[in-house]
């Protein structure tokens, strides 16, 4: 398997299934780990960095051999391949653009990705569609146990797992849930959600994580504190309290919208469909913005011209690197806008 | 132009005054001006200095700034500028100064409660287990779930027994 073989697939996080799939697009858990007795990457020399890379890639490849996973030497990968991995949520933007020996092991079904030499020596992440954090925790805990049998991770009796940045110290866990909240956005209730989540020391970001804007009403909600609660407690609060509460809130806002502004809502949906099926040039941002009302209408059984799989296909495959990889050539912004519009029209008419 | 102190005839005159009745100009160094009672020796600290001292006592930050990790050689000042530590030993070397920052970032938490790696020694594993059970006990009591609280209390007792045996 090579990186191009990933392209036709949807990836584990965009299957469109799983609990609360009408509102929760995907769930993700990552653990930050560092090898004991080694400097953090912030001070490691190139040769120390290489040593860490060699020993960790060896261990990761033992756990995820070539018949189950794809190992990518990110430092030597093309910028297009690196961008493709970011678009598929398999590596962070930081991992794509930083320098020095680094890599990622991606399970064939894209449900696990282990980044070597990201900010910390190792960042293990598992992904799924819908709200499935408890299953993800079982899975990532098992991966971490297996790695711990052979690697001594930097750990302190009082402070737990030691990380480059003290904001990740303790469990080193980050739980993230990507939610589609169009009705809360349109009714402006989202501001209350954002305030409440901030009060609970949670971060609300765009779909590509830190530093990204919210596009297409997709919000990524994640924990910010990693010390003082167990991994199970953090997962439990997300799975059984915070996220179901926001889901209910979104459903209530959708009902209000349908009850009081049905004509305006339908107008928004059909205009979006009209634009997407006729545009000759279109940006990623406009595409994702227009897909939002369609996604909501499909999920509410109020639009059946396309199904959620087709919508997710368009969502994933119209991103810049995906378009260029599919075309087999690099394209400038204007060329991509044309290719994107062509791809959408073809998907909507088939 | 440099003027010599007219009193000691040694140091450079930095205090220049004019005696009003005689309209006489005088040029003195700081020490001689103090001796003659013309200027008052500064025994009181400035407000900024007092504040700095207060912050130093409260947070230990100023004194910690020059602390250097013997392993990775970064100073606490460099950590504060970059937000990234240099090696796992920094948590030990800078611990006193780091804890208040960690508390601020983690809602006042100071102890890890959660997974312990298989490679950690038995004492650490046991301590982590006890901390976790104590929290579960607190939560159960808060929820008025006395059945669960009793079970957790028994587990804690068992741990105490095996620890002392």
Looking at the partner chain, which of A39, A157, A228 has a beta carbon nearest the beta carbon of B109? A228
Euclidean distance between CA atoms B165 and B161, whole angstroms: 6
| Contacts for A287 with CB less than 8 Å, ≥ 6 apart | A276, A314, A315, A318, A340, A344
Looking at the partner chain, which of B92, B106, B117 has a beta carbon nearest the beta carbon of A170? B106
Chain A residues whose C-beta sits inside 8 Å of any chain B C-beta: 34, 36-40, 42-43, 119, 141, 144-145, 148-149, 152-162, 164-167, 169-171, 173, 201, 224-233
Q: What pLDDT, on the 0 to 100 scale, is given for residue B50? A: 55
Interface test with A, best of B69, B73, B85 (most A CBs within 10 A): B85
User: For the segment A183-225, what is each residue's pLDDT rounded down to a tens digit?
Assistant: 999 999 999 999 999 888 899 988 766 666 789 999 999 999 9
| Contacts for A67 with CB less than 8 Å, ≥ 6 apart | none
pTM of the model: 0.81
| Contacts for A20 with CB less than 8 Å, ≥ 6 apart | A130, A131, A243, A244, A247
Is the CB of A156 less than 8 angstroms away from the CB of B82? no
Of residues A179, A180, A183, A182, the one with CA closest to residue A260? A183
Q: Which residue of A has its CA nearest to B91?
A: A162
Q: What pLDDT, on the 0 to 100 scale, is given for residue B20? A: 58
Q: What pLDDT, on the 0 to 100 scale, is given for residue B127? A: 64
More confident residue, A116 or B4: A116
* Neighbouring-strand partners of residue A72: A104
Query: ipTM of the predicted structure?
Result: 0.89
Looking at the partner chain, which of A161, A166, A171 has a beta carbon nearest the beta carbon of B105? A166
User: For the segment A247-259, what is each residue's pLDDT rounded down to a tens digit?
Assistant: 999 999 999 999 9
Q: Which residue of B has its CA nearest to A144?
A: B117
Q: What is the mean pLDDT of residues B40-66?
A: 54
- Which residues of chain A, if any, have pLDDT below 50? none
* Banded model confidence at residue B158, pLDDT cuts 50, 70, 90: confident
* Banded model confidence at residue B165, pLDDT cuts 50, 70, 90: very low
Q: What is the mean pLDDT of residues B57-62?
A: 53
Pairing status of strand A173-180 against strand A218-223: antiparallel
Handedness of CA A52, A55, A61, A63 (dihedral sign): negative
Mean model confidence pLDDT for chain A: 95
Q: What is the 3-state secondary structure (H, E, C) of A124-191?
A: EEEEEECCCHHHHHHHHHHHHHHHHCCCCECEECCCEECCCCHHHCECCEEEEEEEECHHHHHCCCHH
Whether B42 shows a pLDDT value over 50: the answer reads no
Is the CB of B113 less than 8 angstroms away from the CB of A228? yes
Looking at the partner chain, which of B83, B105, B115 has a beta carbon nearest the beta carbon of A171? B115
Let me know: does A171 contact B112? Beta carbons within 8 Å: yes
């Amino acid at each position: 398997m090579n990186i191009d073989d990933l392209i036709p697939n949807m990836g584990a996080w965009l299957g469109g299934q799983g609990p609360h799939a009408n509102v929760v697009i995907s769930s993700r858990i990552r653990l930050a780990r560092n090898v004991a007795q080694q400097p953090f990457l912030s001070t490691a020399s190139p040769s120390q960095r290489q040593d860490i890379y060699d020993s960790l890639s060896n261990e990761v490849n033992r756990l995820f051999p070539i018949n189950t996973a794809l190992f990518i030497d990110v430092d030597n990968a093309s910028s297009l391949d690196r961008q493709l991995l970011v678009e598929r949520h398999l590596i962070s933007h930081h991992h794509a653009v930083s320098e020095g020996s680094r890599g990622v092991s991606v399970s064939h079904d894209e449900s696990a990705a282990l980044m070597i030499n990201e900010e910390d020596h190792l960042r293990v992440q598992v992904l799924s569609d819908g709200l499935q954090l408890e299953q993800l925790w079982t899975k990532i805990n098992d991966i971490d146990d297996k790695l711990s049998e052979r690697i001594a991770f930097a750990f302190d009796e009082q402070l737990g797992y030691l990380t480059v940045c003290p904001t990740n110290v303790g469990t080193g866990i980050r739980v993230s849930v990507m939610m589609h909240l169009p009705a809360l956005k349109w009714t402006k209730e989202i501001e209350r959600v954002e305030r409440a989540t901030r009060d609970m020391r949670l971060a609300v970001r765009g779909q590509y994580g830190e530093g990204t804007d919210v596009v297409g009403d997709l919000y990524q909600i994640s924990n910010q504190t990693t010390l003082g609660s167990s991994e199970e407690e953090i997962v439990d609060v997300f799975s059984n309290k915070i996220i179901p509460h926001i889901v209910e809130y979104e459903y209530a806002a959708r009902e209000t919208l349908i009850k009081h502004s049905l004509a305006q809502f339908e107008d928004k949906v059909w205009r979006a469909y009209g634009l997407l099926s006729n545009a000759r040039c279109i940006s990623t941002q406009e595409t994702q913005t227009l897909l939002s009302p369609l996604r909501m209408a499909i999920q509410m059984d109020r639009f059946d011209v396309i199904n959620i799989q087709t919508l997710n296909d368009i969502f994933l495959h119209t991103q810049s690197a995906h378009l260029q990889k599919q075309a087999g050539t690099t394209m400038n912004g204007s060329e991509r806008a044309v290719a994107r519009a062509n791809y959408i029209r073809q998907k909507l008419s088939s | 132009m440099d003027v010599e102190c007219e009193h000691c005839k040694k140091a450079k005159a930095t205090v220049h005054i004019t005696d009003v009745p005689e309209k006489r100009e005088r040029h003195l160094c700081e020490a001689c001006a103090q001796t003659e009672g013309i200027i008052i020796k500064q025994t009181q600290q400035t407000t900024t200095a007092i504040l700095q001292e207060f912050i130093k006592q409260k947070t230990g930050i100023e004194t910690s700034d020059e602390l250097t990790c013997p392993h990775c050689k970064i100073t606490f000042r460099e950590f504060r500028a970059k937000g990234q530590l240099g090696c796992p030993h920094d948590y030990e070397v800078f611990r006193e100064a780091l804890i208040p920052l960690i508390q601020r970032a983690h809602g006042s938490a100071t102890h890890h409660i959660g997974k312990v790696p298989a490679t950690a020694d038995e004492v650490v594993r046991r301590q982590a287990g006890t901390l976790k059970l104590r929290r579960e006990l607190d939560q159960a009591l808060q929820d008025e779930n006395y059945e669960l609280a009793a079970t957790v209390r028994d587990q804690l007792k068992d741990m105490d027994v095996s620890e002392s045996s």
